[in-house]
């Protein structure tokens, strides 16, 4: 049966990390579906939150600048919500190695506070947690399915694993309706592109637009899969609305896999210019690199009927167009 979006109309929704890339895109879609949306975000400098991400829906959402580590404040924000999209996160893998405790407090401890608040004040809420393919570490086989061993290669992966498992535990023990999506590289309008803090793809886009050569580490043969933001938003909606998701984890992914060197060449073609250079892997990044990764997303297709609809080339073209137009809001406006 086709998915019925009416479930969101008039519903009361909280999105943590709502001024970030994925949270703001989700908010835009939910507002369009008639939901009452509240965004919680701490806007910590150098993280991915950006008020410009909601420039077109600013009057149709409530913004609450709370830090998810503030347990009492989160408890009152969670009361009475129908759906909670739990997307706030420290997302830099390198930062998690230089400042592991901040990562622990945001990606693990705060998640436990949020779940406790749900258990005590809103046990009927449905929660979707934004997990990551980083939990698998270096793949032992490809494509990686949900049964693949979990072996994170960095502190961020361990803390996200704890965050994910707290959600699953609160379902198995307390019957809170939780689920988790293990996202792969997600890209599109609203992603942080200022530097390589979060993802190499972001800074590649910035550099291409600025006419600076993009840097491909090592030989660039590592293969990856990428999801365009609209597809990820659709997965979040499905996971929230469908009962079959409860207590489950799902990989997202894409059937197009591409090496980083091929990706660089594709971006240059779509940009009508630019060049890339192959450079040695920086030691700190090499130590936590996972090599080739692409996910098996057949479970989410079977259970929730989700599959990615946006081809890489189309999504990248749309992303480049967005940053050409709005670059001032993503890098030039900051000192």
Ligand X SMILES: NC(=O)c1ccc[n+]([C@@H]2O[C@H](COP(=O)([O-])OP(=O)(O)OC[C@H]3O[C@@H](n4cnc5c(N)ncnc54)[C@H](O)[C@@H]3O)[C@@H](O)[C@H]2O)c1
List of residues contacting ligand X (CB under 6 A):
17, 19-23, 40-44, 47-49, 67-69, 87-91, 106, 130, 132, 183, 185-186, 192
Instruction: Go through the chain and tell me how many residues it has.
Output: 335
* Cβ atoms 214, 274 nearer than 8 A: yes
Q: Which residues contact 163 (CB under 8 A, 6 or more apart)?
A: 89, 107, 108, 111, 129, 131
* CA of residue 77 relative to chain centroid, distance: 22
Q: Which residues contact 66 (CB under 8 A, 6 or more apart)?
A: 40, 41, 42, 73, 74, 77
Closer Cβ to ligand X, 49 or 315, answer by number:
49
Closer Cβ to ligand X, 89 or 274, answer by number:
89
Which among 84, 86, 82 has a CA at the least distance from the CA of 11? 82
**Quick one: tokens of 74?**
């989160």
Closer Cβ to ligand X, 9 or 76, answer by number:
76
* Cβ atoms 304, 244 nearer than 8 A: yes
Closer Cβ to ligand X, 20 or 274, answer by number:
20
CB of 48 to ligand X, least distance (A): 2
DSSP 148: S
CB of 182 to ligand X, least distance (A): 7
d(CA 242, CA 228) in angstroms, rounded, equals 22
Closer Cβ to ligand X, 213 or 259, answer by number:
259
CB of 273 to ligand X, least distance (A): 26
d(CA 163, CA 129) in angstroms, rounded, equals 8
**Quick one: tokens of 310?**
């946006």
Q: Which residue's Cβ has the minimum distance to ligand X?
A: 20
d(CA 131, CA 311) in angstroms, rounded, equals 23
Closer Cβ to ligand X, 75 or 277, answer by number:
75
CB of 25 to ligand X, least distance (A): 8
CB of 106 to ligand X, least distance (A): 4
Closer Cβ to ligand X, 102 or 301, answer by number:
102
Closer Cβ to ligand X, 235 or 241, answer by number:
235
Neighbours of 272 (CB within 10 A): 7
Closer Cβ to ligand X, 14 or 87, answer by number:
87
d(CA 116, CA 65) in angstroms, rounded, equals 21
CB of 308 to ligand X, least distance (A): 14
CB of 299 to ligand X, least distance (A): 17
DSSP annotation string for 215-243: EEETTS--EEEEEEHHHHHHHHHHHHH-G
CB of 229 to ligand X, least distance (A): 9
Burial of 302 (0-12, 13-18, 19+ CB in 10 A): exposed
CB of 276 to ligand X, least distance (A): 21
């Amino acid at each position: 049966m086709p998915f019925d979006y009416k479930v969101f109309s008039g519903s009361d929704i909280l999105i943590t990390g709502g001024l970030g890339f994925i949270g703001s895109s989700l908010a835009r879609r939910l507002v369009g579906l008639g939901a009452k949306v509240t965004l919680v975000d701490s806007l910590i400098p150098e993280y991915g939150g950006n008020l410009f991400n909601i420039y077109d829906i600013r009057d149709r959402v409530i913004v609450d600048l709370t830090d998810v580590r503030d347990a009492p404040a989160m408890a009152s924000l969670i009361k009475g919500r129908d759906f909670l999209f739990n997307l706030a996160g420290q997302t830099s893998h390198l930062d998690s190695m230089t400042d592991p405790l901040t990562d622990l407090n945001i990606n693990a401890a705060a998640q436990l506070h949020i779940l406790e608040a749900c258990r005590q004040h809103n046990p009927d809420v449905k929660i979707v947690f934004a997990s990551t393919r980083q939990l698998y570490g270096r793949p032992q086989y490809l494509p990686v399915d949900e049964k693949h061993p979990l072996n994170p290669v960095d502190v961020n992966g361990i803390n996200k694993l704890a965050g994910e498992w707290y959600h699953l535990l609160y379902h198995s023990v307390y019957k809170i309706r939780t689920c988790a999506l293990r996202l792969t590289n997600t890209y599109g309008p609203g992603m942080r592109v200022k530097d390589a803090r979060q993802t190499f793809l972001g800074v590649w886009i910035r550099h291409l637009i600025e006419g600076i050569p993009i840097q491909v580490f090592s030989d660039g043969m590592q293969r990856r899969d990428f999801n365009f933001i609209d597809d990820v938003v659709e997965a979040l909606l499905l996971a929230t609305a469908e009962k079959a998701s409860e207590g489950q984890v799902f990989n997202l992914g894409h059937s197009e896999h591409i090496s980083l060197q091929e990706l660089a060449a594709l971006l240059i073609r779509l940009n009508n210019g630019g060049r890339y250079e192959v450079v040695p892997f920086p030691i700190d990044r090499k130590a936590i690199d996972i090599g080739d990764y692409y996910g098996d997303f057949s479970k989410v297709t079977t259970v929730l009927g989700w599959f990615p609809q946006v081809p890489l080339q189309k999504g990248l073209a749309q992303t480049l167009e967005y940053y050409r137009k709005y670059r001032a809001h993503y890098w030039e406006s900051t000192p």
